[in-house]
Amino acid sequence: MKRILLVSSNISREPLQVYPLGLAVVAAGLAESGHQVEQFDFLASGESEALFRGKIASFDPDYVCISLRNLDDCDSYSRAGYPEIAKRLVGWARETTGVPVIIGGPGFSIMPEELLAFTGADHGIVGEGERIVGELIRDLSEGRTPPPLLRGGRLLDGGEMASPLYDGELIAYYLDQSGMVNLQTKRGCPHGCIYCVYPSLEGNRFRYRDPRAVVDDIARAGAEHGADSFFFTDSIFNDPQGHYLSIAEEILRRQLRVRWCCYMRPERIGRKEISLLKRAGLYAVELGTDAACDATLRSMGKGFSFADALEVNRACVAERLPCAHFVMFGGPGETADTVTEGLANLERLEHTVVFGYSGIRILPGTALHGQAIAEGILSPTAPLIEPVYYFSPQIDADVMNGMIADSFGARRDRVFPPVEGQKRLSVMHNFGFRGLLWDHLVRYPKDPGC
């Protein structure tokens, strides 16, 4: 048995503070193998170097494992990058203890060679960690010399995915800050959006957890930690096979009184499905609409039309389910005409919130990365650790941003740039609101006869 300190390096509070789910899943896998595990969250610690060093000194770990969840905040207005935080934590760990430092997480897995060299960690884990971290620690403990960078290899089946081992102190912090806990019902994504790394990180097919195991996790978090609100972090909750409906049906069968929200693809979901989900506790949904007209939807590989998004929005309104659309402008094929058309389309989305983004973060290995190189926007050898954004050569970004700002105006349910949304949500948080917060910005027409 080894003593293993798991560290979340995330410091992002946007759009809200969320429990480091990957850390909890890896903790569960290691604990099941008999290791003594403790979790440390740099954000929950107040980003305190002293508390981090103190945790290492008091726990005296045999290994320190650091997770890098995000590379940046995907907002071209802020261009905030996070690898420097992980590098700093690696350095502090090295100065405090002589044990091996291991780094992993989804952000790390996007560009592992570069980040392993940048952070200076001893070993890096690419892909799912609940199995391979344990294998690496076993090999190191038995005197083997594994390579510095280890890849997960075979993807885990749904039944092999560990249930999260939530830390009591951390879950109390996040319940206080955001009012909810993260949970995952499946991994992977079969869609081909040109900017997205989900298929490379989690595989290009859905891998489903047993609905009973998912709802067991919900019930356990409630019984042990008082959690009654959850965010399902699946890349897309509403899969075509209908597994997501099985989750709702199991919640209803168990008669659990919980609230939850999720990400959805704005396609092939109607009032019948939304009604079922609401009965099971769904209180808001975030829609990955991502573009505002058919031309830009096609160029981004979305696989649905704006009419599909409009139809899902209408179904949400009919069921009085708050929904928010997240839309990126400036992608491939964007012109002044498509911006004009897109903004007119967004006007058709009633009783909903729209978050607008300018430009698209370029990530290595994506089709967008290849297109940016082919168009001469980006050098093939350009480093991408620091945020780099794609803007269509056919549009002036400043003109585009002005068009979006003018269209959204002072509407409370239209947010651009993202930092403006954070200001609004921070005010609500200071008044005691918890949860997604944007759902309070949605207003519905009065019922007939009222």
C-alpha R_g of the chain:
22
What pLDDT was estimated at residue 449?
A: 43
| Beta pairing, strands 186-187 & 207-208 | antiparallel
The torsion defined by the Cα of 247, 252, 257 and 261, in degrees rounded to 10, comes to 30
Rounded distance, CA 302 to CA 310, Å? 15
Which two tokens mark 280? 């099971």
Peptide bond into 15 cis (omega under 30): yes
Residue 187 phi/psi, 5-degree rounding, is: -130, 160
Report the SS3 class of residue 247.
Answer: helix
Per the listing, tokens 């008999």 go with: 34
Kindly report the number of other CB atoms within 10 A of residue 21's CB atom. Answer: 18
Residue 388 phi/psi, 5-degree rounding, is: -130, 135
DSSP secondary structure string for all residues of 256-290: ---EEEEEE-SSS--HHHHHHHHHTTEEEEEEEEE
Q: Is 335 exposed, middle or buried (0-12, 13-18, 19+ CB in 10 A)?
A: middle
Integer CA distances (angstroms), 418 to 354, 359, 415, in order? 10, 12, 6
Rounded distance, CA 377 to CA 332, Å? 12
Q: Which CATH superfamily is domain 3-151 in?
A: Cobalamin-binding domain (3.40.50.280)
- 402 CB-near residues (< 8 Å, 6+ apart): none
Residue 158 DSSP class: G
Rounded distance, CA 331 to CA 364, Å? 16
Contact 70, 82 (CB under 8 A): yes
Which among 285, 327, 231, 329 has a CA at the least distance from the CA of 16?
Answer: 231
Which among 280, 201, 203, 200 has a CA at the least distance from the CA of 244?
Answer: 280
User: Could you report the average pLDDT of every consecutive run of 10 residues in the chain (450 residues)?
Assistant: 96 84 96 96 96 98 96 84 95 97 96 97 94 93 92 87 95 93 96 95 95 98 96 96 97 97 96 98 98 98 98 97 98 98 98 96 96 96 94 97 95 88 72 79 69
- 149 CB-near residues (< 8 Å, 6+ apart): 112, 113, 116, 123, 124, 126
What pLDDT was estimated at residue 110?
A: 95
Per the listing, tokens 């929904």 go with: 323
Per the listing, tokens 């959850």 go with: 230
Which strands sit side by side in the sheet containing 323-329, from one edge to the other?
Answer: 181-183, 229-232, 259-264, 282-290, 323-329, 353-358, 414-415
Which two tokens mark 318? 């009919």
**pTM greater than 0.85:** yes
| Beta pairing, strands 63-67 & 36-41 | unpaired
Q: Is 144 exposed, middle or buried (0-12, 13-18, 19+ CB in 10 A)?
A: exposed
Contact 276, 248 (CB under 8 A): yes
Q: Which CATH topology does 181-206+284-441 take?
A: Transcription Regulator spoIIAA (3.30.750)
Which two tokens mark 388? 């780099």
Domain boundaries, the chain: 3-151, 181-206+284-441
Dihedral of CA 232/235/236/241: which sign?
negative
Which two tokens mark 9? 């390096």
Contact 140, 165 (CB under 8 A): no
Residue 395 phi/psi, 5-degree rounding, is: -140, 140
- 216 CB-near residues (< 8 Å, 6+ apart): 163
Report the SS3 class of residue 153.
Answer: coil
Rounded distance, CA 280 to CA 111, Å? 39
What pLDDT was estimated at residue 431?
A: 62
